[in-house]
Amino acid sequence: MAARGCKGGVRSTDTLFVTKCNAEIDKMNEWHDRLKERKSQLDVVQAETQQRRATLSEEVTKWSLNVKASNALRNDLDARRKVIQARLDEIKKMVDTCKEMLRRTNPRVSDEELKLRCGNEQFDGADPKLPPLNR
């Protein structure tokens, strides 16, 4: 765009015409240079944006996998907790039944005797008057 005159390669002897034309060409060249500079800036922004998008995509994928793994682990732990809770509920019901049965027959029964009569092993320090565990 650095051509002089209104048409490339055309020369004019009309200095007023040439001056006006050259001024317009200079404006166009300045505008062109500003657009090229802005394009360069936008190319840099575009490259940074693409890099950020790629990084974000990788991070989202990692996060998603981590969420899936965490959910699977949580579900596994919850299932195990439910099995343990069910077993504890079963044991508690059995112990409560046994305690109630023994308390009806002897309201002063000791905790040690309850443990012995409800299927627990005899333990160190137990009352020596307790009967031996029958198996």
What is the number of domains present in the chain?
Answer: 1
Q: Please check whether residue 40 is in contact with residue 33, taking contact to mean a CB–CB distance below 8 angstroms.
A: no
Compute the distance between CA of residue 20 and CA of residue 120 in angstroms, rounded to an integer: 111
18-74 tens-digit pLDDT: 888 888 888 999 999 999 999 999 999 999 999 999 999 999 999 999 999 999 999
Q: Which helix (H) or strand (E) holds 128?
A: none
- CA dist 128 and 110 (Å) reads 13
Domain presence at residue 131: no
Establish if 51 belongs to a structural domain: yes
Would residue 42 count as lying in a domain? yes
Query: What's the average model confidence in pLDDT over 96-110?
Result: 73
Contact between 78 and 72 (Cβ < 8 Å) = no
- Domain around 39: 15-117
